[in-house]
Amino acid sequence: ENNYYKRLSNSEIVNRWWLVYSKCKDAVFCFPCKTFNSCNFKIATMGINDWKNLSHILPQHEKAQDHIESMNKLCELSVRLKNQTTLDAQNQRLLESEKQHWHRVLECLLSIVEYLSTNNLAFRGSIEKLFQPKNGNF
């Protein structure tokens, strides 16, 4: 439990939020390194359960260039998600506009059904071709 925090030289205590524990593997992982698969450290691939040496392994891992790059990528991704500037943001906007379009179509259809049923009018007439006389009300 103490390994989730790091004491700095000025006695400040910093949370190692990137350190995650897996119950099924009984090991700790570096979340950014595992997510971005940028290094071959054991803490990123298989996890570490060497509890006696973990307090020595973590500071070494924190100083590794691959870990620093993974942390930067994770921070950049977090900012992009908040600002909605990810690669799929345009696709998400298109999907949302199409969803709104079909929602409006459904509202129109429901209004038609409600109007016809309230006024006891027939949905269709005797001719089923569109734009023909006696085609019906729908």
The dihedrals phi and psi of 49, each to the nearest 5 degrees, come to -130, 20
Please state, in angstroms and rounded to a whole number, the distance separating the CA atoms of residues 44 and 46: 6
Beta strands in the chain (DSSP E): 5-7, 13-15, 19-22, 27-30
The dihedrals phi and psi of 84, each to the nearest 5 degrees, come to 55, 45
Rounded average pLDDT over 96-114: 94
- Report residue 138's pLDDT band, with 50, 70 and 90 as the boundaries: low
- Report residue 38's pLDDT band, with 50, 70 and 90 as the boundaries: low
User: By the 8 A CB rule, do 31 and 78 touch?
Assistant: no
Type of residue found at 75? C
With b for 16 or more beta-carbon neighbours within 10 A and e for fewer, the 102-111 pattern comes to eeeeeeeeee
Look at residue 49 and tell me whether its pLDDT is greater than 80.
yes
Rounded average pLDDT over 57-76: 89
